[in-house]
Structures are given as C-alpha cells and as structure tokens.
C-alpha cells in the first residue's frame, strides 16, 4: 500500500477541485445539454476530422456499449453522421455535421473563456508553469492506463538499429500526434513511412543510425541520424517522436543523448533538424543539446501550410594547435 506523500495529497486535492470547478460533476458540460463524455467525443472528432467507434472506445476509456449508445444519441441529435471509409467500404467512420461544427465552436468558446478567466490574473511565467505541469500530469495518467502501474524503470530499453515493426510504429506515433495537434492526414503519415522505409535500406552504412525506446516490448520513442542526405559531412536528425504516454518522462533526453554521442563520435561538422514552430517542449530539449534556431519560414511540404523551423548544432572549431 502506498503512503500519501505531501505531493500526492496536493495533486489529489487539486484534481478534485478542478473536476468540480470545470463542471464534470454535473450531468451536462460546457454549457451544452450533453454529458461530459459526449462533449469529449464531439471535440475529439472535430480535432481528427473522422473517427471510428473503436477508436473512441480506446481514447475515452469507456466500454463499447456505453460508447455505442452515446454515439446513437449524437447521431439522432444531428451532431454526427456516419460515412463510409474510402479504403474499406465495410468500415464506418463518424464526422461532425454542420450542426456538430456549430456545437463544437460553442464548446471551444465556452472552454477558452473559462481558462482565460482563471489564469488572466497570473503572471506569464505562472501560466506557463500551469501549462507544463498539467501536460506532465495528464501524460503520466495516460501512461498508467496504457502500460499499467507496475512498470519498473529498468523495463525501458534504448535499442539501436532496426527491429521488426519499427517503420509502422514510428509512422503511427507521428500520425497520432500530428493529426491531433495539427490536423495532418494520410499524406503526412505516408510521407513519414516512405521516408523511413528508404532510410532503413541505408542503415548498414556506418554514418546512419536509429535508436528506439522500447517499453514492455512496445516502441514508445525514436530518433535517427541520417549522415548521408545532407552531404558536406553534416548529419540530419530525423523522426524524433515519443508516444503520448511517455512525454515528460526523460525518455526523449535519453534518445537525444544517444544520437548526439553518435554524431560526436562520427565527427560531423554540424547536425541539422527541421521541425514546426510551437513545439516548445521539444525546442527546449534541442537547445539544451546545443541546437540554435537558424531559419524560419512558411511551408506546405507536409500537406498544409505550417511555420517550419531549422535548428543547427555546429561542431566547435578547435583552437589552433589543439589536438
């Protein structure tokens, strides 16, 4: 039995207070006539454009029959409609109707106003602390549900090189994160998968390598160094991604440590990476390893217009006469 430390006590008390103040104790939520689970469903489908019932069961952590009944009510209310998958005529997806989009817009307005009202009297640094702390806590809760409470630290392994299923799993992690955060779709996932497939054929060359974080036989993170595609003895850091359940756990730092040690041992003149603006946690991690922002522009190579960024880590020039 675990004792309740002061940290645990504060987190539990704060969690109860948030549940009450955000309205989750009521039968309806966010100034709608719908239950908290129905509101969650509408918002998540809006973020992803389309979702299947099975995906919602996994995301919401509810049983299949409860989700089925809730979806039937939302369809009957005109908020959702069923559509046939273009890849499989037997598969049905759910998407918002015009009414559903209007409802989600009202939910977002209400929710944004609640958050802004709560934090407006706080200093920007305090607001950032809340954002980062809640993100860490939420991801830790998700990790408990996905991998269980009995996980031991030594069950995580950093594996170097190709392992079966790697390409599909890394593409899946990219697709899951970027579809939720930036509404990327099949074009993005396919581009990630095809790039990885091509790179995997070159892993036998000593200038190329990939590292995988593996937890309970499941890949939960990755990073690769491509020592060929940029030329000029420069390395390209690629496919740095973590499973949602592992963000804020230190796994990303372990992966980057392996990659940077490899780059230093190969004596690359510089390491380059390309990413998107707004990924603040990743940016802080990159900067802690000596990367600096060198370029920023609007691009659409991933299927939609995004603000892209280039970060560089240049090998220090040794003083004259130094070994």
H/E/C letters for each residue in 102-159? HHHHHHHHHHHHHHHHHHCCCCHHHHHHHHHHHHHHHHHHHHHHHHCCCCCHHHEEEE
* Range list of β-strands (E), 162-282: 209-215, 218-226, 234-242, 270-276
pLDDT of 107 strictly over 90: yes
Indicate where the chain has its CATH 1.10.10.10 domain(s): 6-121
Give the CA radius of gyration of the chain: 22
Instruction: Give the fold, CATH level 3, of 6-121.
Output: Arc Repressor Mutant, subunit A (1.10.10)
Q: Give the pLDDT confidence of 49-82 residue by residue, as tens digits.
A: 888 888 888 888 888 888 889 999 999 999 999 9
Q: Which two tokens stand for residue 59?
A: 């995301």
Q: Two tokens at 53?
A: 């019932």
Question: In the prediction, which pLDDT does 73 show?
Answer: 92
Fold of 155-314: Aminopeptidase (3.40.630)
Bigger pLDDT: 62 vs 105: 105
Distances (CA, A) of 305 to 123, 179, 184, 240: 32, 14, 11, 21
13, 5, 200, 32: which is closest to 102 by C-alpha?
Answer: 32
What is the rounded average pLDDT of the residues 292-298?
A: 92
Q: Which of 267, 256, 248, 250 is nearest to 290 (CA)?
A: 256
144: how many CB neighbours lie within 10 A of its CB? Answer: 12
Find the mean pLDDT for residues 122-150: 78
Sheet of strand 156-160, all strands in order from the earlier edge strand to the far edge: 156-160, 209-215, 218-226, 234-242, 270-276, 306-314, 292-299
| Strand pairing report for 234-242 and 270-276 | parallel
CATH 3.40.630.30 residue spans of the chain: 155-314
3-state secondary structure of 285: helix
pLDDT of 310: 95
DSSP secondary structure code for residue 212 in this structure: E
Which range of 172-186, 227-241, 291-305 scores highest in mean pLDDT? It is 227-241
* Whether the Cβ atoms of residue 248 and residue 151 lie closer than 8 Å to each other: no
* pLDDT range class, residue 85, cuts 50, 70, 90: low
Report the sign of the C-alpha dihedral through residues 136, 137, 138, 140, in that order: positive
The phi and psi torsions of 192 (rounded to 5 degrees) equal -60, -45
Q: How far apart are CA 254 and CA 285, in angstroms?
A: 11
Cα separation of 254 and 211, whole Å? 10
How confident is the model over 263-276, as pLDDT tens digits?
Answer: 999 999 999 999 99
The most confident of the ranges 50-54, 236-240, 280-284 is 236-240
Sorted by sequence, the CB contacts under 8 Å of residue 148 that are 6+ apart come out as none
């Amino acid at each position: 039995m675990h004792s309740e430390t002061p940290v645990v006590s504060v987190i539990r008390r704060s969690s109860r207070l948030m549940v009450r103040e955000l309205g989750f104790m009521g039968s309806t939520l966010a100034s709608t006539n719908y239950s908290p689970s129905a509101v969650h469903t509408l918002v998540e489908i809006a973020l992803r454009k389309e979702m299947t019932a099975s995906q919602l069961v996994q995301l919401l952590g509810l049983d299949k029959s409860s989700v089925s009944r809730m979806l039937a009510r939302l369809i009957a209310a005109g908020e959702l409609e069923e559509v046939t998958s273009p890849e499989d005529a037997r598969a049905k997806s759910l998407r918002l109707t015009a009414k559903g989009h209007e409802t989600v817009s009202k939910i977002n307005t209400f929710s944004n106003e609640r958050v802004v009202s709560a934090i407006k009297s706080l200093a920007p640094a305090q607001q950032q602390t809340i954002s980062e702390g809640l993100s860490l806590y939420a991801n830790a809760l998700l990790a408990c549900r996905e991998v269980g409470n009995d996980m031991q630290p030594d069950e995580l392994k950093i594996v170097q090189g190709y392992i079966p299923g790697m390409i599909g799993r890394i593409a899946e992690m990219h697709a899951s994160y970027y579809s939720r955060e930036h509404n990327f779709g099949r074009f993005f996932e396919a581009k990630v998968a095809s790039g990885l497939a091509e790179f995997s054929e070159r892993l036998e060359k000593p200038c190329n390598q990939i590292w995988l974080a593996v937890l309970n036989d499941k890949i939960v993170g990755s990073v690769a160094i491509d020592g060929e595609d940029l030329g000029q003895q420069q390395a390209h850091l690629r496919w740095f991604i973590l499973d949602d359940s592992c963000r804020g756990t230190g796994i990303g730092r372990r992966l980057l440590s392996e990659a940077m040690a490899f780059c230093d041992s190969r004596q690359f003149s510089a390491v380059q990476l390309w990413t998107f603006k707004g990924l603040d946690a990743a940016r802080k991690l990159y900067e802690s390893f000596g990367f600096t922002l060198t370029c920023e522009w609007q691009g659409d190579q991933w299927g939609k217009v995004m603000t892209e960024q280039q970060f560089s880590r240049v090998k220090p020039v040794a003083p004259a006469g130094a070994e």
